[in-house]
Structure formats: structure tokens, C-alpha cells
Amino acid sequence: MNLKSLLIAFSLACCSALSAQEKPQPLSDSLYRSLAATPPMGWNSWNKFGCNVSEQLIRDMADAMAAYGLADVGYQYIVIDDCWQVSRDEDGNIVPDPERFPSGMKALADYIHGLGLKFGIYSCAGSYTCQGRPGSKGHQFQDALQYAKWGVDYLKYDWCANDGQNARAAYQTMAEAIKAAGRPIILSICEWGENKPWEWGEGIGHLWRVTPDIRACFDCTFDWGGVGVLQCIDAAADLYPYAGPGHWNDMEMLEVGNGELTYDENVTHFSMWCMMAAPLMCGNDLREMDFKIRQILTNKEVIDVNQDPLGKQAIRFMKMGDQEIWAKPLQDGEIAVCFLNRGSTPWKLDYNWRAQTMYFAREVNLKKWDYTIRDLWKHKDIGTTKERLRADIPAHGVLMVRLRKQ
Ligand code: GLA
């Protein structure tokens, strides 16, 4: 081999080493689909802070998640919603706000990962985000590569300024971009249920919004699209066949601890999200939550219902005006049951499990009658399904139980 061919061989080896290093190993479709085996749990900045996000705020929330017992019960993702981005550079790369995020996104991701947590970010399938920041349209692969380099684990992908694109194609493009970027990133489809994402979203994203934006109220609908807790429940009620491991109906981020919701309303909100296998993204200020709010968000027995490996969404199997009964099949033949009082007067419950055999048998296949009833908010056993169940359920409140095999 002469000197010239040696040099050529050397430079070829260098180039291929370089390109192998720069070119990510694509993520297999099966690995991508296996993400979010149970509903994702975390915190998102939007509900409480809107555009007022910063590196310090995000670090504080990550610290609080780790320090106040949320990480211990399964919360993982710290997600920055809209407004972290300001422009694109001359190469089209997305530019984070240099004033609000002076250390950059990689440093922030490293900090969050250092606490054992995961890092999420927000973009939009349109040319602009809902707050008028640069969207990902035309930059999907470039953005996904950038997120992967920063260490992003979760992407909430919105639908403002979508320029009439086909929703399924737009979200599929970002899913392909993520896979090509080679990092396991959960894709949260946020097109508010407008294009029935439950019919096409499985395998493309891991959760899809089925509601307009939530507001911190129990029963409300605003002209411009905001809705309350009950409206979110109703929007998701009939979609139970579409939920399962890796693909969840997103009933919106939690408002627990925000606005004027009462204690009972907060308990109902959290209970029903858990019953319905909805993603649990806290939306409050984790630094300042009081003891009761923290107790709600960290109720492990209720969270276990949400995170049950079977991944079934509850079915509303009985409705009598404001009184509803929901049932969620759990692994090993156990069942979570939630008595929901939507009304503004208490519900004096006097329930005969045997009389309901028909409903249970049809919907959740409750064949046996030797179950212990566990109250998941009082953390105690309150009888068996052989006896009648008597309880006072407050206005806007719930009784949430787990039927345990004896
Ligand atoms: C939309 C989404 C919200 C939030 C805002 C941010 O309205 O539905 O959840 O992300 O955009 O601008």
C-alpha cells in the first residue's frame, strides 16, 4: 500500500467513524410502541404558569418533585410547555429563550436527570405554537434530533397554526422523526380530540388529548373552549375501548391544587383521572402545595389504580341523574369502583352489590362475591360485597373503593 492509498484509507475510516457518531441509531418501532406501558405521570408548567417559565422555575419543580414524595409514588416527567422557544437560527435550529434559560436545555435536562427524573418539552405541528412561538412544521426531523441531543424524554406536540394539514400525517411525521433521532421520547398528541386521534393515534403517539383546555372549575364550559372537570370526564367516557398500555386517552393536565376547586372536588378530579387511566400531569405549584393537596396527589392506593398493568379505562356502568357508578377492571381479577356524585347535595348511598350482578357481569365480569371493599381515601376496609354498602358521599364527591379478593 503506497502513501496515497494509506491516506485515503485513513480519511475514509475517519469519515465513517465521524458519521457513525453523528448519525443516530434509529429507534425500532416496537421499542417506540412499548413506551408508556402505564399512563405517564409528571408535572407540566402550563396550567399554573402559562408563559412564565424559566430555568429556575423548572429546576425548582424538579427539586420539589424529588423532595416532596411525588417521585416516590411514580411522578417522573418535568415538562416545559409553551414559550421556552424564541426563534430559529440561520440553520433553522430552534433557539431557547436565552434570558429565561441561560444555561441552555442540555444543562437543564442533565439537572433533571441527575435527580432521577425525566425531561419533557413542548412544540407544535403547525408553523407557530399556540403562543406564537416557532412551531415544528418543516423542521420536524431537525427538531427531534435537537431534542434527542438535549436529552428530552417527552414531547407534547400541539396543533395551533396547523395550516390545514392532515392531523394523522402530521403526528406520524413527528413520530418518524423521533424514531430517526434514536432516543425513546414519548409523544403526547395534543389536537384536542378534533380529528378523533383515538382512531389513529395508537403507534403514532402514546397519549392523545380528548378534550379542549381544562380550567380549574368543576362544572363549566367557556365560549372560547375551556372546560371543567366534569366536562373532561364526559368527553373521555365512551372512549374506553381505545385506552391500553402504550396508548392513553389524555383527559388534560391536572388542576388539583389550582383555582377555586374545593377539597372534595380535587379528590373527585384525581380519583376519576385514576379510574380512567388518564395520564397524571400535575399542573400546580409543587413548591407551595399544602398538606392536603400533597396527600391527594400522592395517594398511592389511588395511583395504583391508575397505574394498574392491565391498562383498562373505567366504564360508567350506571347513571341515575347526578349519581354515577364507574368500574375499572384491575389485574388479578380485582376491580376499582367509584361512586361519583356530580350533584350539589350529598348522596346517601345504600348499595346492594348482588342486585347489580347484571351490570357487573356484562361490563366487568364480576363473577365472584367474596370481595373485601377497601376505601382508597380512608385507607381502610369497609365491608364485603356480601353486605350492603352504606356511605354518605358529599356534594361533588366520590367514594372510591377497590374490590379485593379475600
Ligand atoms: C394549547 C394546549 C394547552 C397549552 C397551550 C400552550 O391551548 O391545548 O394545553 O399547551 O396550547 O400555548
pLDDT digits (tens, 9 = 90+) for 212-240: 999 999 999 998 889 999 999 999 999 99
Cα–Cα distance between 266 and 286 in angstroms, integer? 15
The answer, yes or no, to whether residue 403 has pLDDT greater than 70, is yes
Find the range with the poorest average confidence among 125-129, 190-194, 363-367: 363-367
According to the model, what pLDDT value does residue 370 have? 73
Ligand 1: residue of 51, 213, 281 to mutate (most ligand atoms within 8 A of CB) is: 213
Tell the residue number behind the cell numbers 434514536, with chain if given: 182
The rounded percent of the chain whose pLDDT value lies above 90 is 86
Instruction: Return the C-alpha cell found at 208.
Output: 392523545
Q: What is the mean pLDDT of the chain?
A: 92
Q: Which atom of ligand 1 is nearest to the CA of 252?
A: 9
| Active-site option among 81, 82, 153, 158 | 158
According to the model, what pLDDT value does residue 359 have? 54
For the stretch 152-200, pLDDT in tens is 999 999 999 999 999 999 999 999 999 999 999 999 999 999 999 999 9
Identify whether 158 is a catalytic site residue: yes
CA distances, 227 to each of 46, 200, 283, 340 (Å): 15, 24, 15, 19
The answer, yes or no, to whether residue 390 has pLDDT greater than 80, is yes
| Nearest CA-CA partner of 151 in 95, 113, 200 | 113
Other residues' Cβ atoms within 10 Å of the Cβ of residue 310: 14
Strands 371-375 and 380-384: antiparallel
List ligand 1's pocket residues with C-beta within 6 A: 46, 81-82, 129-131, 158, 190, 192, 213
Three-state secondary structure call for residue 104 = helix
The answer, yes or no, to whether residue 356 has pLDDT greater than 90, is no
Cα–Cα distance between 330 and 343 in angstroms, integer? 28
Three-state secondary structure call for residue 271 = helix
Three-state secondary structure call for residue 27 = coil
Ligand 1: residue of 84, 121, 130, 191 to mutate (most ligand atoms within 8 A of CB) is: 130
